[in-house]
Structure 1
Amino acid sequence: MDSSHGSSMNHGYQLLLRLLFLLLVGTGMTWCDDHEIRLMKHLMLDYDASVRPAAHHSQALSVNFSLSLHHIIDVDEKNQILTTSCWLTQIWMDNHLTWNETDFGGVTVIRLPYFKVWRPDIILYNNADSQYQSSVINTNVIVANNGEVTWLSHGIYKSSCDINVEYFPFDIQNCTLKWASWTYDGYQLDLVITTEEGDISNYHANGEFDLIGLSAFRHVQIYSCCPE
């Protein structure tokens, strides 16, 4: 491939992104007081963050997974890598994190350190970054008294993409970011999308690329080694 078609090129071209999930939830701040301290101790008593919080061990736990695209940082034609800045939102129910608000001064929402609760191990399967973990910023989880857990995270993601510059500078690239659980199968963790349109409400345009589409879809993969 001609190096003149590298990521530093000045010519603009169109880029089509296909993503698997979408939607971002905004939150505010909550004042920490004695009620929240008591509540945190209550929730963490005998809590095991390694146990999947399904209603029954034979039932799948539904996780709403969504993505908000903020910026296309780079399209590296030579190395076939797309670099994006994204917010991820994951929402699920944890029956072990419920409480009666009247017992805790009317507190209905609490923030907890993300590492203290169970979290789905959803990763970017076509990751192309050796420093994947260090490029992701994890925030506190937001827990409602009905057990709904919301986990927001931000990351700079490098994903592999088959880039074809045959028609440069009028080429259209189609890149897919593939997200899935690393250890849970579909009978244990059910990934849910709420819409087929990607969230670009906070997208900042890149002068080199025109974003012409962002979609989300679900694909079920069955491996011959593992029928589940």
Structure 2
Amino acid sequence: MRILMVTLCLWITTVTSQTNENTQTLINAIFTNYSSKVRPVINQEQPLPLDVSFYLSSINDVDEVKEKLVTTGYLSLTWTDELLRWTPADYNDTVIIFIPQNDIWKPDLVLKNGFKKFEELGGTFYYLSVFHDGTVIWLPFNVFESRCSMDITYFPFDTQTCDIKFVTWSHYVEQIDIQKSSDGIQFYEYEQNSVWDLIDTSSGIQKEQRESQVKFTLKLRRKPLYYVMNIILPVVFLGYLNILVFVIPVDAGEKMSFSVTVFLSFAVFLTIISTLLPTSSENTPIIAKYLIIQLIYGVIALIISAFQLRLHHRNEAEEIPTFWIKVVQLQRKLRCKRTRKVDALETNLNEKVAKTEENGPDVVVGWNHVASSIDFFAFWTFMITNILITVVVFSVSAAS
């Protein structure tokens, strides 16, 4: 359309030579008894077809908290004004004139799902193109702030679908019939957004309760690299670092301090990344739930470490329950190690001797062995469950 207009204007400039008197005479002739308050159709019982296209320049902002989409672009509105027609030959082959926006009739099109109050499109400095057959082209440029319901469950691998709806506020569909242009959504010097990719666009006409409205749909996909590098990887690494507390021997004396340090590091990191996570009371991101799980893991690791220290420093003379003896035996079987006899006199420890059918000979079991078995089972339990949860969480998020 724009290329056709430019070509037509160049052709007019080179072939004909209209003067200001020609244009002034034309304007005086067609605007005699013309009123911008009257819908420009001869038969007022007939609807006025209105062709609407949207030219997108940029996606300025996507606010998940306010559920707001901010875009820049302009509308291309085309209709036929039956009261503004003339014969070009009568006016030195003048086929097009430019009229200020407020001097002729124009549709009262407004952004239906906007954040701000209803405002008139365009401005007093806008000129409309009027052709000799009555075709009028209006190109109002604006920054559109529209509401958009957002689902951040799969953040930062989420995809959002936002609608930009325009409606004729005062006229019914019987008076102005909005028609979707074949162009739909086009791009005008489009600039890529640093956070969102525009993966699909569509447009459609909706006629509800005698309203005539056009809907332009943008499908956006978040670019996850920044969040992967600054949120996901540090959280995953801290989660596995927390498991290493079960590798440190109880005798080293650093078990609790290491566990507390990792837990505090995790808590501090959570306060930092909370500003990067979108907040919503309706749907919580899966990554936020994953952070809570890692925090719970840290609390459980602290409890287990404290319990281990308590068992490790128990009096060796205290009787070891059968349950703990079976735990130690199972740990030794899993580690494929054979127990060896230990002479109580040589070690000067009152260790309990447990006889089992599986091991046959006497097996020496002490509280230090119980603590070591707890480390063994806790390490592998935490490791396996953490791997499974991590794979499931991010596979589901990425697959969305």
The TM-score by the shorter chain falls in which range?
A: 0.7 to 0.9
Provide the rounded CA distance (Å) in 2 between the counterparts of 1:112 and 1:166.
Answer: 50
Conserved? CA contact 2:42–2:83, under 8 Å? no
Q: Specify whether residues 136 and 72 from structure 1 end up closer, same or farther in structure 2 by C-alpha distance, changes over 3 A only.
A: farther
Instruction: Classify 1:136/1:206 alpha carbon distance in 2 versus 1 (closer, same or farther; 3 Å).
Output: farther
1:190 is matched with: 177
1:109 paired residue number: 96
Residue 174 in structure 1 maps to residue 151 in structure 2: no
Pairing 1:156-175 to 2, within 5 Å after superposition: 156-175=143-162
Contact 1:128 1:159 in 2 (8 A): yes
What is the one-letter code of the residue matched to 1:104?
Y
The gaps in structure 2 that reach 5 residues or longer are: 211-400
Q: Match for 1:81 among 68, 77, 83? A: 68
1:22-41 aligned within 5 A? 25=2, 27-28=5-6, 33-41=20-28
**Structure 2 vs 1, CA of residues 196 and 221 (structure 1 numbering), >3 Å: closer, same or farther?**
farther
1:92-135 CA distances to partner (integer Å, 9 max, x unpaired)? 111110011121111010000010000011111001124x5388
Q: Corresponding residue for 1:49?
A: 36
Instruction: Give the CA deviation at 1:201.
Output: 5.6
Which amino acid is 1:133 matched to? E
Identity %: 27
Quote the Cα distance in structure 2 between the aligned partners of 1:78 and 1:159: 14
C-alpha distance in structure 2 between counterparts of 1:211 and 1:61, whole Å:
33
Q: How does 1:204-223 map to 2 (within 5 A)?
A: 204-222=191-209
Partner residue, 2:126? 139
Q: Secondary structure at the match of 1:203?
A: strand
The DSSP-based 3-state class of the residue aligned with 2:182 is coil
State the SS of the aligned residue for 1:194.
strand
Q: In 1, Cα distance between the equivalents of 2:129 and 2:206?
A: 28
- The CA distance in 1 between the partners of 2:95 and 2:183, in whole Å, is 31
Residue 68 of structure 2 aligns to which amino acid in structure 1?
I
The aligned runs of 1:63-102 (5 Å cut-off) are 63-102=50-89
Q: 1:43 Cα shift?
A: 1.9
Does 61-70 or 35-44 show the bigger shift? 35-44
Q: Deviations over 1:32-82 (max 9, x none)?
A: 622111111222211100000123111001010111111000011111110
SS in 1 for 2:29: helix
Q: Structure 2-normalised TM-score?
A: 0.47
Gaps of 5+ in 1: 1-23, 224-228
Counterpart check, 1:128 vs 2:115: yes
Q: 2:77 and 2:184 mapped to 1: Cα distance?
A: 17
Q: CA deviation at 1:200?
A: 2.7
Tell whether the 8 Å contact from 2:81 to 2:135 is kept in structure 1 after alignment: yes
SS in structure 2 of the partner of residue 211 of structure 1: strand
Whether the 8 Å CA contact 2:109–2:121 is kept in 1: the answer is no
CA, structure 1 residues 136+163, in 2 after alignment: closer, same or farther (shift >3 Å)? Answer: farther
Tell me the distance in 1 between the aligned counterparts of 2:2 and 2:43.
28
SS of 1:39 mapped into structure 2: helix
Preserved contact between residue 94 and residue 148 of structure 1 (Cα < 8 Å): yes
Greater fraction of residues in helix: 2
RMSD: 2.1
Which one has a bigger Cα radius of gyration? 2
Q: What TM-score, normalized by structure 1, do the two folds share?
A: 0.80
**How far did 1:196 drift?**
7.3
